[in-house]
Amino acid sequence: MPKIQKPGVADVPLMKALLDDAAARGYVLSRESHEIYENLRDFLICRPPSGGVAGMVALHIDGADLAEVRSLVVSTAWRGQGIGVMLVRAAVDEARELGIRRVYALTRIPDFFVKLGFVVIDRMDLPSKVFKDCSRCPMLPQCDETALIIETGLAPKTAAVGKALKGETA
């Protein structure tokens, strides 16, 4: 069973390749290697039993009360097996453990996040500083991202979701 864990520096080339591939398709913003190294502690990865990186996500803290789930990518070979859900749940768990009350996402796949308990909000309700990365986004002139948010206190924990995915009672 793949495990969600913190990455090490040796994982960065594979993480960069995952992000580059998804960024080329317009799913996420690209990140330079140095940005991944500098923010490595933001990331969680999914480690398959065979090694490597099956997926990744970042929890980026914006302030005392708010963090963003971003850079969510699951390798095409591993999609459809619940890894995306596990990664986002683990990031929300981490926010809760850090005492952060709300986690948001800016995304073109709002339905994925709605299934996880996020609710759609008006992007303009987010503090303006969260849009600082937008200047480097190729979609800036016609942004079609939806903003969603979840209260970490209301989100089920990863362990419970893992059981639910396996058909066990939480």
Ligand X SMILES: CC(C)(COP(=O)(O)OP(=O)(O)OC[C@H]1O[C@@H](n2cnc3c(N)ncnc32)[C@H](O)[C@@H]1OP(=O)(O)O)[C@@H](O)C(=O)NCCC(=O)NCCS
| Cβ neighbours of 60 (radius 10 Å) | 17
Helix residue ranges per DSSP H, 25-154: 33-38, 83-97, 110-115
Please report how close the Cβ of residue 145 comes to ligand X at its closest, in angstroms: 8
Contact of 104 with 129, CB cutoff 8 Å? no
Q: Which residue has the tokens 């948001």?
A: 104
Indicate the residue among 25 and 99 with the shorter CB distance to ligand X: 25
Q: Which of residues 56-95 bind ligand X (CB under 6 A)?
A: 72-74, 79-85
Indicate the residue among 97 and 111 with the shorter CB distance to ligand X: 111
**Opening angle at CA 54, ends 51 and 58, nearest 5:** 115
Contact code string over 12-51 relative to ligand X, x by CB under 6 A: ----------x----xx-----------------------
> What are the residues binding ligand X (CB under 6 A)?
22, 27-28, 72-74, 79-85, 105, 107, 109, 111-112, 115
